[in-house]
Amino acid sequence: MQSIYQPESGILDVKYSPDEQTILIENPPRFTWMPVQLENDLYSMQISQNKEFTPELTKTIEHIPFNFYTPNSPLKPGTYYWRYSLVGSTDWSEARKFDVPENLPNTPLPSREERYKEVNLAHPRLWLSPDQVEQFKVKIKENPQHCNWSTFYEKSVTPWLKRELMPEPSPYPENKRVIKLWRQMYMDCQETLYAIRHLTVAGVLLDDEKILKRAKEWLLHVANWDTEGTTSRDYNDESAFRIVTALAWGYDWLFHHLSSEEKGLVRHSLRRRTEQVADHVMKRSKIHQVPYDSHAVRSLSSVLIPCSIALLDDTPEAQEWLDYTLEYYAGLYTPWGGKDGGWAEGGMYWTTGMAYLIDALNLVKNYLNLDFYHRPFFQSTGDFPLYCYSQDTRRASFGDQSNLGERPGLKTAFNIRQFAGVTGNGWYQWYYEQVKAWDTEADQKFFNYGWWDFPFDDMLYLHDFPEVEAIPPAEAEPVKWFKDIGWVAFHDKMNQPEEHIMLLTKSSSYGSLSHSHGDQNSFLLHAFGEPLVVRSGHYVGFNSTMHKKWRRQTISHNSLLIDGVGQYADGNKILNKQANGAVLEVISKDEYSYVREDATNAYKHTVPYLNKFVREIYFVNQSYFVIVDSVDLDQPGRVNWLLHSLHEMDINDQVFKIAGDKADLEGRFIYSSSGDLNLDQNNEYKDVDPSEVEGLPREWHLQATTKKAKGHRIVTLLTPNRKGEKKYVSYFMDDQDHGVHLYLTENGKTFRVEVAKAY
């Protein structure tokens, strides 16, 4: 039997899965493979209980339109084989073997023939059905604060009754993107979304002709904007996402208040704008083959779900777009994490990605009765902000962030509350309530106002999900390893913000891809209410010099340079993914917690003579940290040990001290195999346009530089203290054999660290 063409997966491609090495986390398995050809690839697939694929033990699935598939029923535990072919061909792929263990969560996806059987094609479809609309009307008449309705009406409806219609955004000067104008453009479009969505919902629920008339004015005004102009997907995708979503809500909720001509106008604009997004996702970005396009993946939830539902019986493409999206969520989602619930792009992009996804999954759950929240990722992803974007910390998470300098904000809290509602986890609800108590002016912050409307989101959540009791996370894990993304979080007293110590480190298989940075083996430290070791830089805008030349580069992180050179973090996605790291081991014991991580690959392109960079971190007695860095080179070189602080440091020989407002940090280099390090600090941002940081507060950047050697072993002791606390950690060294033994003592407790010598 001939075999069809089976191209090898590239570093950015989906993999052939499952196979003998695959550890399944849900049942049925999710099947993925590389496309056989560039277009017109329609597949048959077989799943069999034996490798001969005898008919009585084999299930055949026909007409699979893409190179991924989720079965519509779970498999019995046991051993299976699978293969695929092009429809109409007798040439099959290699047969791959996999095992289905017992007691996996059952998360099948109904087939295309099944999933629309109970669908009601009446309008509205987004959020509430016609029957639910009538029930909600009764509820708010009886109690105007039902689901915080009156708050929504006051803050999110009344402002748009008298506002002038938003003019269609003007082009960029010479059609060249300018960050300030780009941001203003999408914020204007967000206001347009607010006006249309909130006026239509309020007008229908109140049966208010005045509001309905104003909603129609906004909707028809925007429907006349040029679909190929400044709010098209290719010109400004953030603006496009908002405008097409506004049209979807307006078309769906005002359906019975529009004339045939008005429906045709809105439908034409809505369909064309949705088509722009779908074509980019499915035909150009091809996220079913190369899944690492952050905006394309987000547009599934922000655009294709609401717009396809609104258009479902108006154009045949709508069901194709919706099927693609549902199958992506069932099979390939998420490219940024896995079973542990991590998000490789970091805390702020978890917030953005989850916010849109939550909206979409709730629409799907309400309209199609498909509940994706049973998948393992969604059951555990609330752990990611809990441990890696902790509610009381500042500057203590990796990846691009627009709220640098602030604690995690209200939208992060809204997201984690959603997962409290899904899972019943009281720790998540505690996080939400903690943030809500302090972030009382969230609405007007630019990274919120241009993205979310809290009263609207709150109303939907209170209607759709149960109240969960908040439980402080007193039993939070002392060290939490997100194996899916290579992040490790150390915590003590998470439930007591003024006593809380958190150290976060990463060495990730994602490298510097997308919104990740050249920060493998980096760490961040927040203690006693104070950011002590921070991620450096300011949020100016994506692709600013601050972003490209500083924040993405290793020099702004708490890792190492080799002869002044950091990890690859520029614009080649292949090299970004190759510039990866790996967490090798995590240990949690009563006396200490420990991580060992390897960032060697991150320097392969930039420092080809680096053979090893392994970092070990010990958190001893929930009190102090010991960092052991091991570097081996093919030629003599210097290591630059980096650390960043909000405060100027006091440097004395091998010691640096940081004095914060609530806490202090003492750092000591207690061993360096090449001799004493040279410690220096500055508050400059190398290669950053000075105009971008004019008037912004400066941070301080420590470089501790070794002498030249082919091998380096550096041991650093970090001791965080409450402000005014008197304590120290004493130490001595024994190096009589082939290793270096360091003994550290605090208040009568002695801990031993062994370091291999550099030869």
pLDDT value of residue 541: 81
Contact at 8 Å (CB) between 179 and 544? Answer: yes
In total, how many domains does the chain have? 4
Q: pLDDT tens for residues 527-536?
A: 999 999 999 9
pLDDT value of residue 442: 86
pLDDT value of residue 1: 57
The domain containing residue 709 runs over which residues? 479-724
Q: Which domain-ending residue is among 333, 358, 389?
A: 333
Asked whether the CA dihedral 225, 229, 233, 237 is positive or negative, the reply is negative
> Quick check: is 78 in a domain?
yes
Annotate 626-678 with DSSP letters as a single string: EEEEEEEEEEEE-EEEEEEESS--EEETTEEEEE-SSEEEEEEEEEETTSPPE
Q: Tell me the percentage of the chain whose pLDDT exceeds 70.
A: 100
CATH number for the domain that contains residue 660: 2.70.98.70
Q: pLDDT tens for residues 467-492?
A: 999 999 999 999 999 999 999 999 99
pLDDT band at 76 (very low <50, low <70, confident <90, very high): very high
> Which of 334-348, 651-665, 723-737 is the least confident region?
723-737
Whether 32 and 180 map to the same domain: the answer is no
> Quick check: is 417 in a domain?
yes
On the question of pLDDT at 193 being above 60, the answer is yes
Whether 371 and 287 map to the same domain: the answer is no
> Quick check: is 407 in a domain?
yes
Whether 455 and 578 map to the same domain: the answer is no
Whether 161 and 52 map to the same domain: the answer is no
Whether 253 and 358 map to the same domain: the answer is no
> Quick check: is 252 in a domain?
yes
Phi then psi dihedrals of residue 321, to 5 deg? -65, -40
**C-alpha distance from residue 290 to each of 33, 55, 151, 304, 523 (Å):** 11, 34, 43, 19, 30
Whether 491 and 467 map to the same domain: the answer is no
pLDDT value of residue 202: 98
Q: What is the overall mean pLDDT for the chain?
A: 96
Whether 208 and 347 map to the same domain: the answer is no
Q: pLDDT tens for residues 662-685?
A: 999 999 999 999 999 999 999 999
Whether 230 and 148 map to the same domain: the answer is yes
Question: What are the residues whose beta carbons fall under 8 Å from the beta carbon of 140, sequence distance 6 or more?
Answer: 146, 147, 149, 205, 206
Q: pLDDT tens for residues 95-140?
A: 999 999 999 999 999 999 999 999 999 999 999 999 999 999 999 9
> Quick check: is 148 in a domain?
yes
Whether 381 and 464 map to the same domain: the answer is yes
> Quick check: is 649 in a domain?
yes
On the question of pLDDT at 444 being above 90, the answer is no
Tell me how far the alpha carbon of residue 176 is from its chain's centroid. 29
On the question of pLDDT at 71 being above 60, the answer is yes
On the question of pLDDT at 759 being above 80, the answer is no
Q: Tell me the percentage of the chain whose pLDDT exceeds 90.
A: 94
Annotate 539-556 with DSSP letters as a single string: ---TTSHIIIIIITSGGG
Q: Which domain-ending residue is among 276, 306, 333?
A: 333
Q: Which domain-ending residue is among 294, 316, 333?
A: 333
CATH number for the domain that contains residue 457: 1.50.10.100
**C-alpha distance from residue 79 to each of 33, 47, 61, 204 (Å):** 20, 10, 19, 54
Phi then psi dihedrals of residue 751, to 5 deg? -125, 140
Whether 665 and 601 map to the same domain: the answer is yes
Whether 321 and 240 map to the same domain: the answer is yes
Annotate 50-95 with DSSP letters as a single string: STT--GGGEEEEEEE-SSEE--SSPPPSEEEEEEEEETT---BPPP
Tokens 């370091």 correspond to 755
Alpha helix positions (H), 313-407: 316-331, 347-368, 376-380, 383-388
- Mean pLDDT, to the nearest integer, of 53-70? 97
Whether 101 and 134 map to the same domain: the answer is no
- Mean pLDDT, to the nearest integer, of 519-524? 98
> Quick check: is 740 in a domain?
no
**C-alpha distance from residue 58 to each of 43, 46, 377, 728 (Å):** 16, 6, 30, 68
CATH number for the domain that contains residue 27: 2.60.40.10
> Quick check: is 743 in a domain?
no
On the question of pLDDT at 565 being above 90, the answer is yes
